[in-house]
Amino acid sequence: MADGDSTGAGTGIALALSGGGSRAMAFHLGCLRALRNAGLLDRITVISSVSGGSVLAALYCHTPGDFGAFEAKVRALLRRGFVRPTIWKMLNSAEGAKALFYFLVIAGDRLTAFLVNQLLALLHIRARTRIGWLKQSLILRRASRTTILRKVFSSIFAGKPLSALRSDRPKLIIVACELQTKSAFYFSADQVASWRFGLASPDDIEIAAAVSASAAYPLALPAIDHRISFTSKDGVVSKRRVILTDGGVYDNLGLAPLWPDRDASISYHVSQYSRIIACRAGYGLEAAPAPSLAAARLTAVFESIFARAQNFAIKRLFDLKAMGAIDDFLHPYLGQKDERLAYPPDDMISADEVAGYPTDFSAMPDDWIERLVKRGEQVTHALLAEHWSSFTAKLDSDNKSRPSEKSPGHGDA
């Protein structure tokens, strides 16, 4: 990741924020602090995010005021967490009863479908394969733990639609995974997009809805089940059912909309970027306890697929740089091996000091907030000093030669 002259790749800097619950929020806050101190944050043209990274990115692209106001809000939310407010809303409003009602109705619906399917199989009736109700419930799950979390997010984002995201901040692409089509689903201020469905209006979808869909970790939160009106590439308008879960299921690093080889005739949010910063709030090559029961084995399988996909994505960044498709990339990583940093600070928060924090949205103690934020800031600073020193020096020189410069808006780079 050494500095180098432009190789003809795109322009602009893209920032990807990985998933990882509140841990990711704190670590990424530190990364943003370092980028701001280096004069890079205002140069970023797009932020792509998943899960916990989406919560932080949406706060950055929505919160009024300066960076200090944003950081103060993030720290306050980390201290409070999102679990207790969600439980409180579940118990203190009709939302909990609605969620239970829909769970029981859909569970009964699926049990009935299973029994009918078994009966038809015993009777050798092949027509069962053509009965849609036997394959999937026709009932939308309009209330669940995830919709309650969405209401918590809605109070944080003041119920505003995606189109209300700040125009003086980078374009934000919040990534979710659509489970029927097994494809990426993108939310932004200018368009809500799925290459399988088309475009939807960002005026009709709340920031909170996008964030909760991106953060709906499937082992803990049900997928968002909703109908959205889309316009396809050939102009056909139709209302489609979408089942949205954690964007990390599709790509936990948030890099999906940033790859330079995507086809604009098929995909949406296609742009070329000269540099990519991929902030990753995961740990290193940790060994988990031996899984014994089925649930533990399934979790281990899920995490194994996650880890392999993320490692492949990082290798792809190396390959793209070698090919000249991007000029360079930076990979601030929570699990970074400290001994490989060329310029670690004297008061470096070590990887061991931040090991073991879970990927949930529970309230975070102040000491953990400070450690994770500082770790993100220190790792990012160290990597910038080692790999991007001449680039940041050039930016600093350019900044001094320009009296003022507009911050990037929502347009593609």
Tell me the sheet residues that pair with 172. 47
pTM for this model (two decimals):
0.90
Q: Does domain 12-85+145-284+302-396 have CATH number 3.40.1090.10?
A: yes
8-12, 79-83, 138-142, 183-187: lowest mean pLDDT where?
Answer: 8-12
| Whole-number pLDDT of residue 5 | 41
- The Cα 73–Cα 29 span in angstroms is 11
Q: Cα separation of 286 and 336, whole Å?
A: 12
Domain ranges for the chain: 12-85+145-284+302-396
- In DSSP notation, 31-96 reads HHHHHHHTT-GGGEEEEEE-HHHHHHHHHHHH--S-HHHHHHHHHHHHHH-SHHHHHHHHHHSTHH
Give the mean model confidence (pLDDT) for residues 113-141.
82
Amino acid letter at 99?
A: A
pLDDT of residue 288: 66
Share of the chain above pLDDT 70, in %: 92
pLDDT band with cut points at 50, 70 and 90 for residue 8: very low
Distances (CA, A) of 312 to 277, 286, 303, 361: 16, 17, 14, 27
Burial 379-388 (b: 16+ CB within 10 A, else e): bbbbbbbbbb
Give the integer Cα–Cα distance in Å for 350 and 333.
12
Point out which residues pair with 239 in neighbouring strands.
Answer: 229
Q: What is the mean pLDDT of residues 167-192?
A: 96
Distance CA 79, CA 73 (A): 10
Q: How far out from the chain centre does Cα 176 lie? A: 7
User: In the predicted model, what is the mean pLDDT of the chain?
Assistant: 89
Q: Is the pLDDT of residue 99 over 50?
A: yes
The pairing of strands 44-49 and 13-17 is: parallel
| Cβ atoms of 251 and 50 closer than 8 Å | yes
**Cβ neighbours around 337 below 10 Å, total:** 10
pLDDT in tens, 370-402: 999 999 999 999 999 999 998 888 877 766 665
Q: At what angle do helices 21-37 and 51-62 cross, to 10 degrees?
A: 50
Two structure tokens written together for 275: 């540099």
Q: Give the three-state DSSP class for 118.
A: helix
Place of tokens 């280096």: 38
Pick 123 or 131 by higher pLDDT.
123
Long-range CB contact pairs, 94-101, < 8 A, 24+: 95/143, 95/147, 95/148, 95/151, 96/148, 98/142, 98/143, 99/143, 99/144, 99/145, 99/147, 99/148, 101/143
For position 3, what pLDDT does the model report?
40
Which residue in 207, 326, 204, 151 sits closest to 255, CA to CA?
A: 326
pLDDT band per the 50, 70, 90 thresholds, residue 282: confident
- Distance in angstroms (rounded) separating the CA atoms of residues 351 and 285: 12
Q: Convert the pLDDT of each residue in 167-176 to its tens digit.
A: 999 999 999 9
Q: What is the pLDDT of residue 129?
A: 60
Examine the pLDDT at 4 and tell me if it is beyond 80. no
